[in-house]
């Protein structure tokens, strides 16, 4: 989608530190990490928010979580980690292309702020 930051990252128009990609998902390091490991996992298909998901997106969303689990293993997060997706203004979403944060390498707090 034009003017979407993450679509531009997927297309390589904006550089990123790619961690993993396949035909459906793209994973790259967050530019402002909040923990020693902070990877964003996104669908290659543009979906603006979790609110916009349709039943046909179930497979890709499941694939994103399976990818998060695989990357967490590969990145050595055997002590645990957090997977977060922020939705819209009150959820704290700032980039309107659905993404999951894979965050780890330190003890997390709960509840979030």
Among 107, 104, 113, smallest CA distance to 33 is for 104
Structure tokens at 69: 């689990």
Tokens 């543009």 -> residue: 46
Active-site option among 46, 63, 99, 101: 99
Q: Does 28 bind ligand 5GP (CB under 6 A)?
A: yes
Q: Does 3 bind ligand 5GP (CB under 6 A)?
A: no
Q: Does 95 bind ligand 5GP (CB under 6 A)?
A: yes
DSSP 20: E
Q: Is 99 one of the annotated active-site residues of the chain?
A: yes
Instruction: Give min distance, CB of 110 to Zn ion, in A.
Output: 30
18 binds, among ligand 5GP, Zn ion, none (CB under 5 to 8 A by kind): none
The set of residues, in sequence order, having a beta carbon less than 8 Å from that of 1 and lying 6+ positions away, is 7, 46, 97
Choose one: 19-27, 46-54, 59-67, 87-95; the region binding ligand 5GP (CB under 6 A): 87-95
For the chain, the first-to-last Cα distance in angstroms comes to 31
Q: Give the residue, chosen from 9, 27, 77, 97, that forms a contact with Zn ion under the rule CB under 5 A.
A: 97
């Amino acid at each position: 989608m034009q003017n979407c930051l993450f679509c531009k990252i997927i297309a390589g128009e904006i550089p990123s530190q790619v961690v993993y990609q396949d035909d459906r998902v793209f994973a790259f390091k967050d530019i402002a990490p909040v923990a020693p490991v902070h990877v964003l996992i996104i669908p290659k298909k543009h979906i603006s928010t979790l609110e916009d998901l349709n039943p046909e997106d179930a497979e890709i969303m499941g694939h994103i979580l399976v990818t998060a689990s695989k990357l967490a293993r590969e990145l050595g997060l055997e002590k645990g980690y957090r997977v977060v997706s922020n939705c819209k203004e009150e959820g704290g979403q700032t980039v309107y292309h659905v993404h999951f944060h894979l965050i780890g390498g330190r003890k997390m707090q709960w509840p979030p702020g």
